[in-house]
Amino acid sequence: MALYSDKVMDHFLKPRNVGVIEDADGIGEVGNARCGDIMKIYLKIDDDIITDVKFETFGCASAIASSSMATELIKGQKVEDAMALTNKAVAEALDGLPDYKMHCSVLAEEAIQKALEDYQSKKSQEK
Ligand code: FES
């Protein structure tokens, strides 16, 4: 069996939503100390709906594929639904990741959570 599913290869070779949102409403950056990979997620949110999402990932193929898939999964979603996104759901949407690569999908879950927390803390400061 191939190491990576066709979906992982597709999202790695043609990642969706790569880039930066200059006036993002929430930004989350996380890293994995062991492998040194870094992921940054930018969110544009209107009325508690994620209208745009971009990412920059300096990391392995699984990390790039996970960021790409995760951004696709949360685009157009409500903040509270995006909060509930798990790394397992990201890996499943990619038709699986090798066990030793599951931590790469954790980066996507954590970066999104951090960006949503950033959005929520900015919002509460506006009040
Ligand atoms: Fe570090 Fe994949 S090896 S995120």
Q: Where are the domains of the chain?
A: 6-122
Q: What CATH number does the domain located at 6-122 have?
A: 3.90.1010.10
Place of tokens 């990979």: 37
Ligand 1 neighbourhood includes 69 CB (under 6 angstroms): no
| C-alpha torsion 65→68→70→71, nearest 10 | 170
Kindly give the confidence (pLDDT) of every residue in the chain, 127 residues in length, as a single tens digit, with 9 standing for 90 and above.
588 999 999 999 999 999 999 999 999 999 999 999 999 999 999 999 999 999 999 999 999 999 999 999 999 999 999 999 999 999 999 999 999 999 999 999 999 999 999 999 998 988 6
Q: Is 35 among the residues known to form the active site?
A: yes
Under a CB-based contact definition with an 8 Å cutoff, are residues 44 and 88 in contact? no
The CA 8 to ligand 1 mean position distance, Å, reads 14
Q: What percent of the chain is helix, strand and coil (3-state, nearest 5)?
A: 50, 20, 30
Ligand 1 neighbourhood includes 97 CB (under 6 angstroms): no
Terminal alpha carbon distance of the chain: 54
From the list 3, 13, 20, 35, the catalytic residue is 35
For ligand 1, atom 2, the nearest C-alpha belongs to: 104
Phi, psi (degrees; rounded to nearest 5) at 45: -130, 130
Structure tokens, 63: 């990390």
